[in-house]
Amino acid sequence: MKKGFLCEPENGHLELTDKGKLEGMECLARHEKLTQFFQMVSGMDQQRAQEDACRVEHYISPEGLKGIENFLQYGDVYDRIYDDMDLYTFYEDGDFPMAFGLYEPERRNPRFLATEYEKLEQSVILRVKKSQNCFRLKTKKDESIGCVWYRRDEEWIQAKEEKGVYQLPTDIFTYTANTGIPVTEAVAIIAITRFEQKPLPIDYRELNIHVW
């Protein structure tokens, strides 16, 4: 009653206000969507699905519920965007070569490869370890591109470099995924400078990795 969902009781009966009815309809819709979702993805019976829905419906975020609505409406066929993805979930320990592009981010129609691209090996290497995952950019023999930087929490950090190999943490990338292939693309804005000075916008590059 303090929050305006219920009227003052009359004759011992509580009644919903218009605000209460709206909230009740939204709660019921969440419950029905979650019940259907649990049945679809797990094959559990309706009673167990309803029990799980009761546990979740009061705590799920709007973004989480929206994702479930998309799943129920379209199936798991649309591309989704992830940040901070742990690629260890999809790969065993090891090195995985992948195609990539390095672009000038401000030039998109058409896109232009950055000049540094020609100085790099044709594949970037995804190195997967349980303790640390990274993408490794390697320069061609007798080539140099200077200093490579990546951004975390709005701060530019110089990438570790050893013998022309630059290590970029996997958690700085934004990933695209769909149902057919768990992860299809990894994108990050990096920077390349000639010396160890903090990057300027002119130094920014878009690193686009075709994940398989």
Spell out the residues 6+ positions from residue 166 whose beta carbon is closer than 8 angstroms to its own. 136, 137, 138, 148, 159, 160
For domain 18-77, give its CATH number from 1.10.3210, 1.10.287, 2.30.30, 1.10.60: 1.10.60
3-state SS class at 168: strand
Encode the chain (212 residues) as per-residue pLDDT tens digits.
Answer: 889 999 887 777 888 899 999 988 888 888 988 988 888 788 788 889 899 999 998 889 988 888 888 877 776 656 677 777 767 777 888 999 999 999 998 877 788 999 999 999 999 999 998 777 899 999 999 999 999 999 988 899 999 999 999 999 998 998 887 666 566 889 999 999 998 899 999 999 999 999 87
Query: Global pTM?
Result: 0.65
Angle of CA points 161, 164, 165, to nearest 5°? 60
Domain positions in the chain are 18-77, 87-210
Q: Which CATH number fits domain 87-210: 2.60.40, 3.90.700, 3.30.200, 1.10.3470?
A: 2.60.40
201: tokens are: 């916008």
